């Protein structure tokens, strides 16, 4: 298996240290190291590495991985094994999220790796491996779920894609599992992305995690290789068919599904072909204001009306991105956080699917999701009256990004104003984003530190220049502060390579 080989010349003080033999491990009980007889097996070139991650105690894992890196195991192999270990050992139920974040965070961590300095590139991967061990321990405490081998039955290859579509439509878990496994081997990745995008974005259960996992799964497969698609797509199908114990959504009219169905009708009536490319500042402002009060269905209707009037999709995305960031400013908490990460996922799917009608529907769904997130956030706690359109920069220009990240722990409003000042004055945006990522490497403890930062930084790059500063300033309320305690990751890696 080939993959990216990251520079090792400065790998945390350990690159020039002599090879160390593998340390002795504590005795392990058989049930800790033996997979169930019917557990899914991966490709032979990656199975041993996955098993090592599964069976090595958390406190010993970094040392074992350091040895493997010195022997030639590369970044891409470790990334693939971390993903697959999570897929085999951690259940994406009862909700898509929670402990399953050890899988869902992988692509966000990979994005952080790609954007990091050479000397920091290993940090996100080591953090992800350690996080997998934490989630594995949690899953064991909750019953030790394991993905089983698939029962393919006698399903013909040429019928797999049709059955997969039908089973996703009917919320049939068993048929979806078998057909997803066969489709992974016989159907193009483009067709499968269109299909999973449609069913990952259809309902607002699990606060956007279904769409997030679809985007993350396909993007990670792009990095590690489509040969690993079968278990990933099986995991996706299983996750997407979660309906929180409610009756079968295909046979019932449930609140989580209504805006998606309404938007399907709207998408059929929307104009086709290329629309205006430029962003309309007044439309963006009007949409942001409407997003504070409109229902999910109302935002879908508002968006369709704007597009019928020849508004650009760029204007709509600017408005959605800024509304999500404003929500973070109004309530820096878990639900608004996912307004950003789901917007990032839906935006990726919009850019990546091949069918035009599907793209238009994804845009409408993203609009409606903003309404869902605002309503969900309001049920947990009140949202402040903070207003992205009224953000003001500090009178004195900020020169040093360090100052901004110090204030994030004590005065988020001031930090937002300083970000606005820094960027409006021509500050180095890449230096600002890089500094924020490095704080996550050194201080981040939660999967959302990676998921959120990777999502908002990518949306920042896609946002129109007119709105970028406001987007990041408002969204900064959930970035990592330099005042937070170090997570000890740097020292643990250095020790493993010493």
State yes or no: cis peptide before 94, omega within 30 of 0.
Answer: yes
DSSP state, residue 72: T
3-class state of residue 39 by DSSP: strand
CA 5/CA 52 separation, integer angstroms: 21
3-class state of residue 418 by DSSP: helix
CA 344/CA 440 separation, integer angstroms: 19
Tens-place pLDDT, residues 94-135? 776 678 999 999 999 999 999 988 888 899 999 999 999 999
Instruction: Return phi, psi of residue 229, to 5°.
Output: -70, -35
Tens-place pLDDT, residues 185-241? 999 999 999 999 999 999 999 999 999 999 999 999 999 999 999 999 999 999 999
Confidence of residue 399 (pLDDT cuts 50, 70, 90): confident
Task: Supply the pLDDT for residue 47.
Answer: 94
CA 45/CA 33 separation, integer angstroms: 19
* Residue keyed to tokens 């390579």: 497
Q: What is the dihedral of CA 353, 359, 361, 367, to 10 degrees?
A: 110
Is residue 449 within a helix (H) or strand (E), and if so which, with residue range?
helix 447-462
3-class state of residue 485 by DSSP: coil
| C-beta separation of 310 from 176 below 8 A | no
Task: Supply the pLDDT for residue 401.
Answer: 84
Task: Supply the pLDDT for residue 17.
Answer: 27
* Length of the chain (residues): 498
Beta strands in 357-433 (DSSP E): none
| C-beta separation of 361 from 263 below 8 A | yes
Task: Supply the pLDDT for residue 260.
Answer: 96
* Mean per-residue pLDDT of the chain: 89
3-class state of residue 354 by DSSP: coil
| C-beta separation of 386 from 415 below 8 A | no
Q: What is the dihedral of CA 90, 91, 94, 99, to 10 degrees?
A: 20
DSSP state, residue 18: P
Average pLDDT over residues 404-433: 93
- Find the helix packing angle between 356-380 and 296-308, rounded to 10°: 140
Contacts of 63 (CB under 8 A, 6+ apart): 20, 22, 23, 496
Whole-prediction pTM value? 0.90
pLDDT beyond 70 at 418: yes
Cα distance from N-terminal residue to C-terminal residue, the chain: 28
CA 418/CA 472 separation, integer angstroms: 11
Characterize 159-179 residue by residue with b for buried, 16 or more Cβ atoms within 10 angstroms of its Cβ, and e for exposed. Answer: ebbebbbebbeebbeebbbbb
CA 201/CA 44 separation, integer angstroms: 34
Contacts of 43 (CB under 8 A, 6+ apart): 227, 228
| C-beta separation of 176 from 148 below 8 A | no
Name which of 11, 18, 131, 147 is nearest 75 in CA terms. Answer: 11
| C-beta separation of 90 from 135 below 8 A | yes
Q: What is the dihedral of CA 160, 163, 168, 173, to 10 degrees?
A: -80
Q: Is 245 left (phi over 0), alpha (psi -120 to 50) or beta?
A: left
Task: Supply the pLDDT for residue 78.
Answer: 94
Greater confidence, 444 or 38?
444
Question: What would the two tokens of residue 130 be?
Answer: 């350690």
Confidence of residue 274 (pLDDT cuts 50, 70, 90): low
Task: Supply the pLDDT for residue 36.
Answer: 61
Question: What would the two tokens of residue 461 be?
Answer: 């790059």
């Amino acid at each position: 298996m080939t993959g990216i080989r990251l520079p090792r010349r400065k790998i945390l003080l350990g690159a020039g240290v002599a090879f160390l033999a593998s340390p002795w491990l504590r005795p392990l009980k058989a049930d800790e190291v033996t997979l169930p007889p019917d557990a899914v097996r991966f490709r032979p070139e990656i199975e041993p590495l996955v098993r090592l991650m599964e069976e090595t105690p958390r406190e010993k894992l970094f040392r074992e991985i350091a040895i493997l890196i010195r022997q030639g195991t590369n970044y891409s192999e470790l990334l693939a094994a971390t993903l697959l270990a999570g897929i085999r050992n951690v259940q994406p139920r009862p909700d898509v999220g929670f402990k399953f974040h050890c899988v869902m965070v992988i692509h966000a961590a990979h994005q952080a790796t790609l954007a990091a300095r050479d000397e920091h590139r290993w940090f996100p991967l080591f953090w992800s491996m350690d996080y997998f061990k934490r989630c594995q321990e949690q899953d064991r405490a909750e019953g030790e779920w394991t993905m089983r081998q698939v029962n393919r039955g006698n399903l013909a290859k040429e019928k797999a894609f049709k059955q997969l579509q039908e089973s996703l439509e009917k919320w049939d878990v068993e048929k979806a599992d078998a057909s997803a496994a066969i489709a992974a081997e016989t159907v193009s990745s483009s067709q499968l992305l269109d299909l999973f995008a449609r069913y990952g974005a259809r309902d607002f259960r699990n606060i956007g995690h279904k769409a997030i996992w679809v985007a993350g799964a396909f993007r990670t497969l792009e990095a590690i290789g489509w040969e690993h698609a079968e278990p990933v797509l099986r995991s996706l199908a299983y996750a997407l068919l979660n309906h929180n114990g409610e009756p079968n959504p295909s046979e019932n009219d449930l609140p989580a599904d209504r805006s998606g169905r309404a938007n399907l009708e709207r998408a059929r009536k929307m104009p086709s072909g290329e629309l205006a490319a430029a962003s309309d500042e007044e439309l963006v402002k009007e949409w942001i204001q409407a997003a504070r009060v409109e229902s999910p269905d109302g935002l879908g209707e508002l968006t369709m009306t704007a597009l019928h009037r020849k508004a650009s999709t760029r204007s709509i995305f600017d408005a959605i991105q800024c509304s999500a960031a404003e929500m973070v400013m109004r309530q820096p908490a878990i639900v608004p956080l996912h307004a950003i990460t789901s917007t990032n996922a839906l935006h990726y799917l919009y850019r990546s699917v091949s069918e035009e009608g599907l793209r238009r529907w994804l845009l409408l769904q993203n609009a409606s999701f903003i309404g869902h997130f605002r309503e969900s956030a309001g049920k947990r706690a009140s949202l402040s009256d903070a207003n992205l359109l009224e953000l003001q920069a500090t009178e004195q220009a900020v020169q040093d990004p360090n100052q901004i990240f110090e204030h994030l722990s004590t005065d988020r409003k001031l930090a937002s104003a300083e970000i606005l000042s820094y960027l409006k004055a021509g500050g180095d945006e890449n230096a600002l984003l890089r500094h924020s990522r490095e704080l996550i490497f050194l201080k981040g403890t939660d999967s959302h530190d990676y998921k959120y930062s990777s999502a908002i930084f990518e949306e920042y790059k896609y946002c129109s220049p007119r709105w970028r500063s406001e987007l990041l300033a408002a969204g900064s309320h959930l970035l990592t502060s330099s005042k937070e305690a170090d997570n000890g990751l740097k020292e643990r890696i250095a020790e493993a390579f010493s």
